[in-house]
């Protein structure tokens, strides 16, 4: 006797959902059954949203944050922002936690990672050249380094400081108390506000 199981199409759906980050076997099963119960429209809506996001979402050619593919992001094109402040983060996902504290009105720059020789990530693998170009265009601007406080984050901050200071800009570092290596998304808003307000020139 063969043990009873879901039909193959449902097993396939569960298998696909299980591959997604943060979704285990039970969660995948619950989601798949939920979609079946909702009917065809719900599945079509999700499929459409997935395809649309893949087709339309890209990275801002200026700062590296998410944007409509091929276009600059809404921060880079906002004339009300202070273009003489550039906040440097490791990943695009670090931008929104800073935005949500409501204190910062400048531009961003996403490096795409941090210097980590052990993992083979060197400065040339990050968006450093682009940062240098942007800072060079803005004499006297302030560059706020909002990279992590772990060893790689410190090494990245030190390296960037050396590259940026000769460009006639001020370089500051977020105050201590930031999460080490976990991304800014793990910091609560109050901690981020204090870290921004307490930033120090380095
Ligand atoms: Zn941008």
Assess contact for 126 and 115: CB atoms under 8 A.
yes
Q: How many angstroms does the Cα of residue 64 sit away from the middle of ligand 1?
A: 6
Q: How many angstroms does the Cα of residue 48 sit away from the middle of ligand 1?
A: 26
DSSP for the chain, written as a single string: -PPP---HHHHHHHHHHHTSTT--HHHHHHHHHHHHHH-HHHHHHHHHHHHHHHHHEEE-TTT-SEEETTS--TTTT-TTSEEEEEEEESSGGGHHHHHHHS---EEEEE-SS--BGGGTB-GGGTTHHHHHHHHHTSTT-EEEE---SSHHHHHHHHHHHHHHGGGS-EEEEPPS---SSS-GGGS-HHHHHHHHHT-EE-
Q: How many angstroms does the Cα of residue 75 sit away from the middle of ligand 1?
A: 6
In the chain the domains, ranked by start, together with CATH numbers, are: 8-57 (1.10.8.420), 66-201 (3.40.1360.10)
Q: How many angstroms does the Cα of residue 92 sit away from the middle of ligand 1?
A: 10
For residue 89, the cross-strand partners are 110
* pLDDT score at 67: 98
* pLDDT score at 201: 87
Q: How many angstroms does the Cα of residue 87 sit away from the middle of ligand 1?
A: 11
Assess contact for 134 and 160: CB atoms under 8 A.
no
74-113 tens-digit pLDDT: 999 999 999 999 999 999 999 999 999 898 999 999 999 9
Q: How many angstroms does the Cα of residue 66 sit away from the middle of ligand 1?
A: 8
Alpha carbon distances (Å) from 101 to 8, 52, 109, 128: 47, 29, 17, 26
Q: How many angstroms does the Cα of residue 76 sit away from the middle of ligand 1?
A: 4
Whole-number Å distance between alpha carbons of 202 and 196: 14
pLDDT tens for the chain, 202 residues long, are: 989 999 999 999 999 999 999 999 999 999 999 999 999 999 999 999 999 999 999 999 999 999 999 999 999 999 999 999 999 999 999 999 999 989 899 999 999 999 999 999 999 999 999 999 999 999 899 999 999 888 999 999 999 999 999 999 999 998 766 666 666 777 778 888 888 887 888 8
Q: How many angstroms does the Cα of residue 133 sit away from the middle of ligand 1?
A: 14
Q: How many angstroms does the Cα of residue 147 sit away from the middle of ligand 1?
A: 18
Q: How many angstroms does the Cα of residue 145 sit away from the middle of ligand 1?
A: 17
Assess contact for 129 and 167: CB atoms under 8 A.
no
Q: How many angstroms does the Cα of residue 129 sit away from the middle of ligand 1?
A: 16
First to last CA, the chain: 72
Pairing outcome for strands 170-173 and 142-145? parallel
Q: How many angstroms does the Cα of residue 137 sit away from the middle of ligand 1?
A: 15
Q: Report the b/e string of 135-145 with b at 16+ CB within 10 A.
A: beebeebbbbb
Whole-number Å distance between alpha carbons of 41 and 83: 44
* pLDDT score at 177: 61
Q: How many angstroms does the Cα of residue 34 sit away from the middle of ligand 1?
A: 37
* pLDDT score at 189: 82
Q: How many angstroms does the Cα of residue 106 sit away from the middle of ligand 1?
A: 11
- The alpha carbon of 65 is separated from its chain's Cα centroid by a whole number of angstroms, namely 7
């Amino acid at each position: 006797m063969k043990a009873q199981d879901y039909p193959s199409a449902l097993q396939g759906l569960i298998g696909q959902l299980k591959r997604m980050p943060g979704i285990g076997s039970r969660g995948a099963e619950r989601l798949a059954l939920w979609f079946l119960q909702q009917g065809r429209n719900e599945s079509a809506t999700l499929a459409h949203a997935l395809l649309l996001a893949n087709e339309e979402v890209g990275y801002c050619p200026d700062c590296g944050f998410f944007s409509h593919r091929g276009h600059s992001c809404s921060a880079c094109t906002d004339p009300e922002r202070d273009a003489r402040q550039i906040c440097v983060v490791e990943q695009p996902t670090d931008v929104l936690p800073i935005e949500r504290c409501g204190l910062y009105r400048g531009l961003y720059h996403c490096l795409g990672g941090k210097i980590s020789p052990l993992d083979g990530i060197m400065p040339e693998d990050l968006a450093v050249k682009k940062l240098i170009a942007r800072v060079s265009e803005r004499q006297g601007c302030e560059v706020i380094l909002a990279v992590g406080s772990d060893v790689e984050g410190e090494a990245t901050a030190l390296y960037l400081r050396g590259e940026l200071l000769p460009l006639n800009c001020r370089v500051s570092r977020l105050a201590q108390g930031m999460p080490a290596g976990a991304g800014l998304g793990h910091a609560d808003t109050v901690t981020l506000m204090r870290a921004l307000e307490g930033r120090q020139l380095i």
